[in-house]
Structure 1
């Protein structure tokens, strides 16, 4: 394990109006993984995250603070999100699939494995809306565990929408360079998509039928993963965590010593702990505002 280092959140972050709890420190919660990704929180505040190169999903317990394997193998799962029925949705890009996992029985249901009879490029991140529909990004990142896949199967890197109960997804957005991180508002009215290829993040209105309308530039920064708090602030990742207010104004940064920060979510029983997946590690920092599920 790395030396346990505590990074004091200095006054500059407070002045920058990032909603970090007074005196909070960035803490190393765990390390020794290969590449951490995809954190998601359940209704009890437990946080699940992936170690994709090692093909496993791990679980941090809100009761004990301990971390244990939840599932291995795990379809090379990347981004995760819980649906409104408490099932874990996983972007299982080993075979280009979208999974629904029962946390109690660990039974896997494959929701999707193709679009127009072609493999997805590689489902990457997913958000479930209040109605139970799922938006997910499908960029192309060549994986060393793929066999014979040198080029993307889909001609475009898209955002798809799977309405609740539907058997096939609809194209929600196909004009982005490389969509990656995705998150929506808790009322289901807004969707945010990071175009990491264009180094921009966009905001959309969500119509009643799930279609995306009124696209506008949210900020000039792409992101690997993202989350949102109850004040409407958006948290983007890459070199540390960068926080923007609901209007796209940069509030400041939460740095760490890792070369890349992949993803972020809120968790814990009060939903006020920010969990950060970065390279081989998991970090936490206490916040003064709660996240949204």
Structure 2
């Protein structure tokens, strides 16, 4: 009888059975440590991913105070969606075939490209082909440095750090010659450097950032795609991008941006 009562209670109140889902709220996963994209600052959340997420939430009928922000580390994103910890994730979350086996995506809402960040005034490094004999920083476990070594500069000296903020510090301290990852992440870091760092501006890969949602939720994907299209068409997308990369003169690859969301992703 107790088991039956508990099951009945679950039907009427998910919260009563341990779920942290709040009535009338939407839970969105973002990064808390990526300047320019998703960054927790004095109890508030700022960045391009945050702005896109807020716009989508608004189109879904939620006010800003109805958003519950949750940190979404890269290794935990699929599990967070599968376990129902969040309703969607916008956290520099690239759409890949492997990830689509576990979750679904709306979007893309941005197409990033791997690029290089150097000290202001650096002229010897114009692209990844100039890195032989140079010291390159990337994050531990990142595929960015592997891409450079395999495709462009096999003799590059690699330094790994736990985060890109540490790589940026190593760069303007002169410990390394360049930092590599997605261009929009580098733009956010450069914007925080007060003019000491700059992007090379020659992206050499494509990464489609999508909105991660629970596997198979085609109706939510359609509504999110409608919101992304609306944001792009009325200028809000461009304004958000400029605001979060201010002072860097960052321009995403115009061949892919703003992207057209794909139905069914």
TM-score (norm 1): 0.27
Larger radius of gyration: 2
Higher-RCO chain (CA-CA 8 Å, sequence separation at least 6): 2
TM-score (norm 2): 0.29
Per residue, is there more helix in 1 or in 2?
2
